[in-house]
Amino acid sequence: MRLLAATLTTAALAAVPSLIASGCGTSHPRPITAATIAEAQTFPYFPVYWVGTSFEGEPLDAVDGRRTYISTVGESVYYGDCSHEKGVFGGGSCLLPLQVTTVVWHLHTNASLGPQQQNLLIRGVPATAYDGGRSIELYTGHVAIDIFSETPARALRAALRLAPINAPGSAAGRLPAPVYCPELVGPVDARLEGVMNRLPGHACQRLRAAKEIKERLS
């Protein structure tokens, strides 16, 4: 959700699929069909994360699939009907109780997430909370997972329950480490910095070296 082309995070474009796929604004969303879930379970390009067929009393309302896939927007799963509130980045005309969007990560800085960000370590991987904590972006494998919720507490609980719908994986324990270095903004504590320095392929060390070379050349 919400990635402006390849430069912003997943937070900018997700309003489009949420309005189309979730039936946003309806008072009685239709039950999701087995065929819709099956399409998500066979999505071929990357792991798509969800929190099961329901979450804290909110049923799974809609799931994106291969036919509607847009690479810059990613794949989303939607829970419950829309509320009457709207977050800083999300929901179009409304905000679902919970939306989880998975998108292939592209090199960008987190500055677009706003001035109040908190860098965290969740499920063993780097993450950033923003929009007052109601949104969390986690970095794992080749993707970023964005969670959009009504409250910070629900967003965090959802992060602790993430599992792939179309690949092996558990809803508990550590997520796969990212193969890239997320460009976090703001303070990073020693524990998170240690994880960042141990990412596969020395991703953060290579990114820092590339930046230093670019600065010297400019």
State the DSSP string of 145-168.
Answer: EEEEESSHHHHHHHHTT-EESSSS
**In the numeric block, which tokens belong to residue 34?**
């087995």
Distance of CA 78 to the CA centre of its chain: 12
Most confident range (mean pLDDT) of 82-91, 139-148, 209-218 is: 139-148
Dist. CA 82–CA 25, nearest whole Å: 6
pLDDT band at 148 (very low <50, low <70, confident <90, very high): very high
pLDDT tens digit string along 181-206? 999 999 999 999 999 999 999 999 99
Q: What is the DSSP string of 172-218?
A: SSPPPPPSS--B--S---HHHHHHHHTSGGGHHHHHHHHHHHHHHH-
DSSP 97: S
Query: What is the C-alpha separation between 151 and 65, in angstroms, rounded?
Result: 27
- pTM tops 0.95, yes or no: no
